[in-house]
Structure 1
Amino acid sequence: MTIAKGDKLPETTFVTMGENGPEPVNSNEFFAGRTVALFSVPGAFTPTCSAKHLPGYVEKADALKAKGVDAIACTAVNDAFVMGAWGKSAGADGKVAMLADGNGDFVKALGLEMDGSKFGMGTRGQRFSMLVKDGVIEELNVEAPGDFKLSSAEHMLGQI
């Protein structure tokens, strides 16, 4: 079953790259008591994700925060090393938290996984965004395969 607006996010553990290496991040703790703009990409360093998706949120970080967003987070079914390097290369440090969902546990729990096997990518997360308030989904934008419209930073700004 796919998660929907009004649902509480499932508890999972993400991994981020800290100063001393990979660090676990409990999802309940990360989303508790704040408004988070979360977006998911099929893969770090992939064309649309690197040219448009992540850069859009980096560029619009101040505008999102001015509208009440406390944190912006990007997740993908990649390891923390890849997510950390991708975030650095995109100038995301201090603007977008890079949350690695290495085994795809989060997207599977959401019902938003996709089969990227024909591209040599295995199971990945669909492209989507959501506005989460205190762990509850207020807005959910799931893209059709190959699209990039609803999950953009610009679209989210219009929803707040």
Structure 2
Amino acid sequence: MIAVGEKIPDVPLTTVDAEGNTESVRSGELFGSGRSVLFGVPAAFSPTCSDAHLPGFVARASEISAKGVDRIVCVSVNDPFVMGAWAKDQQVHGVVMLADGSALFAKAMGTDMDGTDFGLGIRSQRYAAVIEDGTLTWIDVEDAPPDHEKSTAEVVLTKL
């Protein structure tokens, strides 16, 4: 897994907004300058992701930004259409939704997990991270997919 002090891997991804507008980006470019908060989730629309994880970052987006964060990014191994629908359903504002449809980013970060036994295939572990000018400065990964104590918006606020 990526370690503090290492550069964020540079792979192709897609951003999407609640209106379904998509844009191809590279992770190296997206995270290359400024300060970012990144959180990874195993699946859009899953109970923990939709009931607790994403809503916490949306609700606290202004507090996180006020601590000198340039962007808050949610990444999931889902296609951009699912991420767009999820953003619309969750009324996302203040959070960039990032589709990692082929798990390239999750694998490059070393945060991938095999959810085949649950019918999910390769997914991202649940985690939160702080990135400064393309370099990882903090990361914490949950022990199991339903857990969401280490990677909440409240925890991230204490790390900024």
Normalised to the residue count of structure 1, the TM-score between the two structures is: 0.94
Whole-Å Cα distance in 1 between the matches of residues 20 and 158 of structure 2?
38
Question: SS where residue 3 of structure 1 aligns?
Answer: coil
Pairwise CA distance, 1:22:
3.3
Q: Secondary structure at the match of 1:131?
A: strand
Q: Count how many residue pairs are aligned between Structure 1 and Structure 2.
A: 158
Instruction: State the Cα deviation string for residues 65-93 of structure 1 (Å, max 9, x = none).
Output: 11111110000000000001111211213
Quick check: 2:10–2:29 contact (8 Å CA) kept in 1? Answer: no
Deviates more, 1:98-107 or 1:20-29: 20-29
- Cα–Cα, structure 1 residues 143 and 20, in superposed 2: closer, same or farther, change >3 Å? closer
User: Could you list the per-position Cα deviations for residues 13-57 of structure 1 after superposition, in whole angstroms to 9, with x for gaps in the alignment?
Assistant: 111236685321111211122101000000000000000000000
Instruction: Specify the alignment match of 1:107 in structure 2.
Output: 106
TM-score, length basis structure 2: 0.94
| Unpaired runs of at least 5, structure 2 | none
What are the Cα deviations for residues 98-118 of structure 1, in whole angstroms up to 9, with x where unaligned? 000000000101111111111
Give the Cα–Cα distance (whole angstroms) in 1 for the partners of residues 33 and 135 of structure 2.
Answer: 10
Give yes or no for contact 2:14–2:98 (8 Å, CA) kept in 1.
yes
Superposed CA deviations along residues 108-149 of structure 1, whole A, max 9, x for unmatched, are 011111111111100000001100001101110111013211
Q: Which runs of 5+ in 1 are unaligned?
A: none
Match of 2:45 in 1: 45
What's the RMSD between the two structures over aligned residues? 1.3
Percent of pairs with identical residues: 46
Measure, in 1, the Cα distance between the counterparts of 2:20 and 2:57.
Answer: 26
